[in-house]
Homo-oligomer: A and B are copies of this chain.
Amino acid sequence: MKVNGFACKAGAVTSDDFYFKGLAVAGNSSATPYGSVVTAANVVQVPGLNTLGVSLSRIDYAPGGVNPPHTHPRATEMIFVLQGTLDVGFVTAAGNRLVAKTLAAGDVFVFPRGLVHFQRNAGDAPAAVVAAFNSQLPGTQSLAAAVFAAEPEVPDAVLTKAFQVGTTEVEKIKSRLAPKKS
């Protein structure tokens, strides 16, 4: 049986339904153009989370690596820094105010529900956080990719207005962010 779109195991659950070891090892942050990588532990990986309203992720950052500006449509995020030094921030909806902080290992910071936020490894060593969400499947929308790498494309006529630049700049960003064709 399905509940909420995911399996409902009821009495048939085992402890493995509530367990995941995939956050134990650092993700390969050099495998992305951003120098960061997210490993999720949500209802997809941890079936026992179904209907329970919480999940975790691990994010690893190479030196200089960036988790680019993004939103979670369905959750607030609260991070705990496992190691390294991070510049983090979110932008308020009213007034575009940047609320930012430099974090050290053991620090926590909150990114309110739905707001644009980012992290950047400001140190010379790898950095990592554990991120908590109040959703079993928070969703993530990376903004540059959503706007410049969508398929089909968001029309240039929208983007030149939005960013107040010409098609040259828009096309340049689109080409840089375009999904790789095989």
Chain A positions near chain B (C-beta within 8 angstroms): 1-5, 8, 10-11, 13-16, 18-21, 23-25, 33-35, 41, 46, 48-49, 52-56, 58, 64-66, 68-69, 71-78, 80, 82, 87, 89-91, 93-101, 103-116, 118, 120, 130, 132-135, 139-155, 157-159, 161-165, 169, 172-173, 176-177, 179
Contact = CB atoms under 8 A, between A and B. Distances in A.
Contacts of A100: 15, 152
Given A33-B164, A139-B93, A15 B118 contact: no
Contact of A53 (B16, B76, B149): B76
A64 to B, nearest CB: 7
Contact of A106 (B21, B101, B105, B113): B21
Contacts of A111: 18
Contact of A18 (B21, B53, B99, B169): B99
Determine how many copies of this chain the complex contains.
6
Q: Summarize A's interface: helix, strand, loop or mixed.
A: mixed
B56 A80 contact: yes
Contacts of A165: 169, 172-173, 176
A3 B4 contact: yes
Contact of A169 (B5, B99, B132, B169): B169
A141 B113 contact: no
Nearest to A32: B161
Contacts of A14: 99
Contact of A116 (B16, B143, B153): B143
28 contacts: A1-B2, A1-B5, A14-B99, A18-B109, A18-B112, A19-B110, A24-B105, A24-B106, A24-B107, A33-B161, A35-B161, A41-B78, A46-B108, A52-B112, A52-B113, A53-B113, A53-B134, A65-B161, A66-B158, A91-B141, A91-B147, A93-B141, A96-B149, A96-B150, A114-B139, A115-B141, A143-B147, A148-B163
